[in-house]
Structure formats: structure tokens, C-alpha cells
Amino acid sequence: MSRDWRRRGLKIERVIQNSMSKPTTYRFSFGPWNISEGADPFGPEVRPAFPHEKKYALYKPMGFDGVQFHDDDVVPGIDELNSAQISKQCAKVKKMLDNQGLTPEFVAPRLWFAPQTVDGGYTSNSAKDRKYALDRTLRTIDIAREIGSKAVVLWLAREGSYIRESKNARLAYQRILETINAMLAHDKDIEIWIEPKPNEPTDMAYVPTIGHTVALAYASSDPKRVKGLIETAHALLAGLDPSDEMAFALAHDKLGSVHLNDQNGLKYDQDKNFGAANLRTAYNQVRVLEEAGYGKKGEFIGLDVKAMRTQKGKCVTSHLTGSREIFLHLVEKVRSTDEKLVQQFRDARDYEALELYILKHLMGIK
């Protein structure tokens, strides 16, 4: 074991001890797109539109303190505006956030809608389109700073391919790294949180897992400022366990945020309510976060959940409050797990007994 790893091990132990001594008070966030009108690829909206501006007043009463933004959630029509107009709009949003007592958790460049990003942004084969993607990303950093956010999220939606031969994958990875370095150079304080996803909309994405994210972070010009955002459904789509993905990021001190939700098998990205498909997997995500003291430095419990299309109503939010509630119940389950007993089962290598204990604990059976 190298010195560095031993030191990191000790640091992790300290974090665990700290997290045990004082329970975390969790703060929650979501993005305005999580209140939607129910459109899917096969049909239109089924609920009346509810304007973004009105959504922000709902956060606090629902128990949420953080707002996740796309650049054009902050500045609608961003591509048509000059920098003075963008700054003016940012000041307006900042004032609204301050008035509501809300924290802007992050801003993400929406690089999957514009005609310039049809075949990817940073990894497009067109130099002109790559320039559009970079310019828009640097503008996103400025927006984040102006509204008081310390992080930019890169969900690399179209950085991938539909057929392998369409792009040079090695070059694509280098271009993603160059972009990250250009972002770090543009602003000396901003953090970059990459949100990996293995597919959808592309068939094969270039940064499919947190392992890829962490490798990019270490290869970058300022590894401390490059982290990951792990979404439950994305990890499951990659055939991986979301709690192990989170544990990997946490072991490297690289978990910027999470998008908790759920996913019923290898299908389209479902963004189901947290715990809805697999309560035990949800419990294990909470367990990993709680054990590492996640949230103690102000990290948010971010949700990325979608209301069912079948749900009636003008402004459906029950999937958000429900997911938050389940998270908090699972925190109680984690805190009331008999860790001494778990240790005894581990020592005896009696994982059958451990499994039964966990299942009964989750079901509330003594």
C-alpha cells in the first residue's frame, strides 16, 4: 500500500468517525425540468404548462433548498443574446434566488438541443460546431459565477456515437480533456462535475461511468476541481451498482453531487422515484453517502426524477416530495442498522445471516 493510499484510508476513517459523531442534516435540490408536462417520444404534453418562474416559489415549501439549472433555464434564448443581456438576466435570477433563500447548486450547458450539436459538441467532427460548444460552455461558467454557483455540470449527452466508425474515439477523449482544461483555465475557482451516462441519446457514450470521469479528472490540469455527479439510473444502465459507483467517487473525494432516482432494468432512462424499483439498492446508496459524511460540506442530495405521464394535475410535484421522503426514511433505516451485528456477521463470514438481517430490517421485522 502506498503512503498516499494509507493517508487517504486514514482520512476516510476520520470522515466516517465524524459522520458518526454528528448526524448530517441533508439539503435537497432538483432542477425545474423535474416539474414537467408529461411529453415522451411517443406523445405530447398531457398536463398544462407551468412556467419556470413560478416553480422557484415551490422549492422551500416542498423542503428543497437548492436549484439545479441548465444555462438556458437561467437565460432563456441564450444563443440570441449578447453578454450584457445575459448578465442582466443573471442578475434578475440571482435576485430571485436571494429573495427565495435558494442556493444555485450548479449550471449545466444544454448542449443537446442546438443544430450545432446534432453530432456532438466537444467531439463533433466539425471544428465550427466544436467551437460553438466550447464558447457556450465558457459562457455557462460565467453564468454560474454571476448567479453565485460554484459548479458546472457536464452531462455529455451527445458526446458519443451511433456507429463506431463515425468518429475517432481516441481523439474524442482528447478533445473532452482539452475542453475540461480550457474550462479550468477560464475560471480559477469553478468546479466541473461530470455526469456519466452510458447511452441515450447516443448509442455509445464516451464517458459512461464514474471510472472514466475520475480518470479524466486526474488527467486534467487541476484534478481537485474536477469531480463527478452520479445518477442512480445512469449507473444501472451501465450495469453497475450505484452505491459502488458512489463509493468509488467518495474514495477519491470526487463526488460533487448525486442525481437520485430509480430505473427498472435495462430500458430507456426512466428517472423513476427514488427507491421505486429497488428499495434495497436505494438503502445502500443512502448507506454509502451517510457513512462517508456526504453532505457535511454542503453537498446536496440532488434528485432527477420524472413524474409519471399518467399523473393528472397542473403542476405535479409529488414525485419530488415522495422521493425526498423516502430518502429521509432510508436515512433512519441506515442509522438504525445494527452495525455491531453487521460486524459480527462479517467476522463470522455469515453473509446468509447478514442478508436475512438486512431484509428484515428493511421490512421493519425485529
| Contacts with ligand GLO, residue ranges (CB under 6 A) | 108, 153, 155, 195, 197, 231, 259, 269, 304
CB of 196 to Mg ion, least distance (A): 10
Binding site for Mg ion (CB under 5 A): 231, 259, 304
**Which residue number, 110 or 361, has a Cβ lying nearer to ligand GLO?**
110
On whether the CB atoms of residues 247 and 289 are closer than 8 A, the answer is no
CB of 259 to Mg ion, least distance (A): 4
**Which residue number, 29 or 161, has a Cβ lying nearer to Mg ion?**
29
Question: Residue 204 phi/psi, 5° resolution?
Answer: -125, 110
Amino acid identity of 80? E
Question: Residue 139 phi/psi, 5° resolution?
Answer: -65, -35
Of 4, 40, 65, 70, the catalytic one is 70
Strands 66-70 and 28-30: parallel
> Phi-psi region for residue 265, left (φ > 0), alpha (ψ -120 to 50) or beta?
left
Q: Count CB neighbours of 107 within 10 A.
A: 30
Rounded Cα gap, residues 266 and 304, in angstroms:
18
Q: Which listed option, Mg ion, ligand GLO, none, makes contact with residue 108 (CB within 5 to 8 Å by class)?
A: ligand GLO
Of 71, 72, 73, 269, the catalytic one is 73
Grid coordinates of 282: 436505494
> Phi-psi region for residue 16, left (φ > 0), alpha (ψ -120 to 50) or beta?
alpha
User: Across the beta sheet with 255-259, what order do the strands follow?
Assistant: 255-259, 226-231, 191-195, 151-155, 103-108, 66-70, 28-30, 301-302
With a CB cutoff of 8 Å and minimum separation 6, the contacts of 166 are: 119, 125
The number of C-alpha atoms within 13 Å of 57 and in the hemisphere containing its C-beta is 5
Preceding amide of 223 cis, omega within 30: no
Known catalytic residue: 70? yes
CB of 155 to ligand GLO, least distance (A): 4
Rounded Cα gap, residues 88 and 86, in angstroms:
5
Known catalytic residue: 361? no
User: What residues act catalytically?
Assistant: 70, 73
